[in-house]
Chains A and B, each alone.
Chain A
């Protein structure tokens, strides 16, 4: 099974500052046949279901603010919030679909 390891487990960032979350996969999730990374990011706020933020490692979902961006390929991925807003306080999860489905353990983002 593919294991996804996120870092850090939690981070506190000042409003307007950059937040960076990393996710490392135990094996590549890049399909060479179509050059796509089967990798996504989700945001979950307390008491709510997860919400899709990024698919294919770097494609923002409909309605997601452009301060959220995804990057990386193969085994190493990053979610960046360029200017943290109060409404971004949440837990963020990475997820792969290269082989069945697995999630990272989550990263909690708070305001400093």
Chain B
């Protein structure tokens, strides 16, 4: 059974940084692209960033380009999201999602990031 467990969320001041982690199990991690999707309180889903199986290719939504960085550690089945220069509108639940390359077939429970002074 696929299991994705996000961690690292919390309260951070505007302009601060945070690193999210996603521990993956139950599937062959290196065979799958992965993505982060976020959901602001009471709002819809927003795809944030994705990474290829090997990590050689990364993709970003315009809203986070230049201040978020996605990475992965295939040796330890871990996905990461480094978030810098955080703004109030980055406040959201961040989901780690298993990306088949065409759709998201498994999701974690999410981790809440709150950007506030």
> Which residue numbers of A lie inside 8 Å of B, CB to CB?
1, 38, 40, 42, 44, 49-52, 55-56, 61, 91, 93, 95, 97, 100-106
Contact = CB atoms under 8 A, between A and B. Distances in A.
A31 B77 CA distance: 32
A93 B101 CA distance: 18
Contact of B47 (A55, A61, A100): A100
Contacts of A49: 95, 107-110
Contacts, number: 55
Nearest to A93: B45
Contacts of B35: 101
Given A103-B46, A103-B47, A50 B62 contact: no
A52 B105 contact: yes
A62 to B, nearest CB: 9
Given A91-B44, A101-B35, A103-B44, 15 more contacts: A40-B104, A42-B45, A49-B109, A50-B37, A50-B104, A52-B103, A52-B105, A93-B44, A93-B45, A95-B47, A100-B47, A100-B61, A101-B50, A103-B46, A104-B44
B104 A106 contact: no
A106 B105 contact: no
Nearest to B47: A101
B103 A95 contact: yes
Nearest to A38: B102
Contacts of A50: 37, 45, 95, 104, 107
Contact of A100 (B44, B50, B100, B108): B50
A79 B86 CA distance: 36
Given A1-B62, A101-B35, A101-B50, A55 B44 contact: no
Nearest to B95: A49
A104 B110 CA distance: 20
14 contacts: A38-B102, A40-B104, A42-B104, A49-B95, A49-B109, A50-B104, A55-B100, A55-B103, A56-B102, A93-B44, A95-B47, A100-B50, A101-B35, A103-B44
